[in-house]
Structure 1
Amino acid sequence: MTATDPALTALASSWSALSVLHGRIEAHIERALQAGHDLSVREYSLLDVLSRQHDGEGGHLQMKQVADAVVLSQSATTRLVTRLEDRGLLTRYLCPTDRRGIYTNVTEAGLGLLEQARPTNEAALREALDEAAQNSELAPLVEAVETLRVPA
């Protein structure tokens, strides 16, 4: 295969379309969350992931797991947690069974903000997908996103 191979060119074109779709959706949601709730997409995602923790076996995520869930480096995740902790939306504490581990919980204020922001996030996502569906290059990707069922 060469760099001008039609299969590689088609793959690169598909990847580019997926990247454009992601960028448009994220930018649309970012504007809506910032305007309505003073939250970034990353902050919203972090609050959402952490709000799904539970007290049972394996119910709390360690920082590496949180970083993987929000698709950030561990250092970027730690900085994000610190920002939200400074705003009173998160708290950190040592893991009771492993003093090297640090857990993070969403505070009542964080849960309240998340619940207020969730409809904004969902509406902005819907708007961004509807807008992208009007573009013939992005429409098949929008259809794939809308029909994809990810296990919980």
Structure 2
Amino acid sequence: MTTRWLTPEELRAWRAYLAASWLLEDVIDRQLQQDAGMPHLYYSVLANLSDAPGHQMRMTDLAETLKITRSRLTYVVARLEKDGTVRREGCPTDRRGSVAVLTDAGTALLEHSAPGHVETVRAAVFDHLTPEQVAQLETISTRITEALQGGEERPVCDGLPWRRRSSGAAE
């Protein structure tokens, strides 16, 4: 098989994307650590539970939403449980499954940390884009996600994180 090397334009775009994504994750993570004492992934768990009906989600659905492995989510939720911001309950429709539930303490932490998080995201990303570029960013990001997940065709990668089997994974 012949390697399809990136064109100079593609290479510049790829490197720009990597630089932006790594720096953005660092800026967001540092802000959340400073303001809320938690990394971005923990905040994302709380935010997704806050948006879910009844402030709860099945663990497998939460892993898929966050695009992480079930074992990583299990670790994160266990840490959040120790802090009292999330609790796990049995899934009423599947005895093997479990549900993550946002607690009142988790809601309070989210309400405390959300304004700083939103301001950081706005200052780092959206204040520098036109409305047209925001729409383009959504289109490009959605297309890449669909390609990786196999939206219209075969997925680019095998074994999406939330579908991987590993010992101790949450259902």
The residue type paired with residue 90 of structure 1 is V
CA 5–104 in structure 1, closer or farther in 2 if over 3 Å, else same: closer
Q: Distance in 1 between matches of 2:3 and 2:138?
A: 35
Q: Distance in 1 between matches of 2:25 and 2:71?
A: 22
Most deviating of 89-98 and 13-22: 13-22
Unaligned regions of 5+ residues in structure 2, if any?
Answer: 143-171
1:70 maps onto 2:69 in alignment: no
Q: Distance in 1 between matches of 2:17 and 2:6?
A: 20
Answer yes or no: is the 8 Å Cα contact 1:47–1:114 preserved in 2: yes
Match of 1:79 among 65, 75, 83: 75
Q: Distance in 2 between matches of 1:101 and 1:5?
A: 43
Q: What residue number does 1:129 align with?
A: 125
Unaligned regions of 5+ residues in structure 1, if any?
Answer: 134-138
Q: What residue number does 1:136 align with?
A: none
CA RMSD of aligned residues (A): 2.8
Give the secondary structure class of the aligned counterpart of 1:101: strand
Q: CA deviation at 1:115?
A: 1.0
The residue type paired with residue 28 of structure 1 is V
Q: CA deviation at 1:143?
A: 6.6
Q: What residue number does 2:37 align with?
A: 38
1:110 maps onto 2:106 in alignment: yes
1:51 maps onto 2:35 in alignment: no
Runs of 4+ in 1 over 4 A off after TM superposition: 1-5, 148-151
CA 104–5 in structure 1, closer or farther in 2 if over 3 Å, else same: closer
Equivalent residues, number:
138
Instruction: State the identity as a percent.
Output: 30
Give the secondary structure class of the aligned counterpart of 2:53: coil
Q: CA deviation at 1:102?
A: 0.2
Q: CA deviation at 1:81?
A: 0.4
Answer yes or no: is the 8 Å Cα contact 2:56–2:102 preserved in 1: no
The residue type paired with residue 76 of structure 2 is L
The residue type paired with residue 9 of structure 2 is A
